[in-house]
Structure 1
């Protein structure tokens, strides 16, 4: 059930940069390694509602109901745009010389959970991806689905945490340059805005 093909495909999906990776990396650059771990944890926990929706059959309803998908998509677009504006305006965020004022863990986790919660593609991903690795003859398909989901979440947490560690190392080495700080701030802001545009133009 949990074969090499599943692990490889899951790893490719998780490693591919998206809003969650971007949020974790930007948090690592702004606030350090521990803060990036909380961001990674929040992104991982944000998978749970999508997993539950799929398990309960709600994913099929969302897939069929254009209105539900569009509403969730618009909420996701709005949140990504909020992150873009907030990143653009926070001129001190990437300053390595500034005192680190880490957000409270629950705040970081909450922001990351909301980021993934408002991603309608994640529910559709669970509906289309995981069932491929559950045999039709499986005597306990829901148990297999839960196990596959937990493995996927574990990979997400580990890979996102690694992204955060690498971001922290980058911060420690080269973040003393005001030019780099400004370029990173603008780049992350533009990336969040671009993801919002991509999500807004996406179809079901």
Structure 2
């Protein structure tokens, strides 16, 4: 495993995206438990993308315009739903007061998995990313790609978990200020809409 791979992985992981936005929101909504659950869910969602790359399904997705579009717009629809749920203060992101019951861990994990799973760009990214660090002539190319995918998942879990815990640490200050709470709801909702629009406009 090279330094270039680790640096590239870190840059990709910390780049703001749907998973990171959701993890921060989950940390504010459910505290430490919510942030950890979201980080775990986003990390688990990477598994199908890595397996798709290794088994060649990513190449099929890249070649099939219809398959790509279906998955893409399913992801867009879900992001728009997340934006609506945030504004309505229901569903996955309930940034209510301390007396509010935070969303359950399994619910957070399921939503985090769906957010990352319904993004075909993640699969396409792995299709372009992993082969750069594995020689086609290497006798153990598949195990190496699985190993690198595992490293990517570990970095994702650590970074998302740390940032989510940071958000959870300021939760008490946030929920006690209604104006800040309203601003955050709108910000997260706007972020999901923007990310959905970006996904809708991206080509293979």
- TM-score by structure 2 length? 0.95
Alignment-derived partner of residue 167 in structure 2: 167
CA drift of 1:185 comes to 0.4
Matched, 1:29 2:28: yes
Residues 172/36 of structure 1: CA separation in 2 closer, same or farther (3 Å cut): same
Q: Report what 2:59 is aligned to.
A: 60
Residue aligning to 2:94: 93
Aligned 8 A contact 1:50 1:123 in 2: yes
Quick check: 1:47 aligned with 2:46? yes
Gap runs ≥5 in structure 2:
none
Runs of 4+ residues over 6 Å off in structure 1: none
TM-fit CA distance, 1:137: 3.2
Deviation at 1:3, TM superposition (A): 1.1
User: SS of the residue aligned with 2:170?
Assistant: helix
Cα shift at 1:136: 3.2
Aligned residue in 2 for 1:139: 139
CA-based RMSD of the aligned residues comes to 1.4
Q: How far did 1:129 drift?
A: 0.4
Structure 1 alignment gaps of length 5 or more:
none
Partner of 2:109: 109
CA distance in structure 1 between the partners assigned to 2:74 and 2:23 by the alignment = 20
Q: Equivalent residue for 1:118?
A: 118
Number of residue pairs matched?
Answer: 202
Give the alignment of 1:168-183 within 5 angstroms: 168-183=168-183
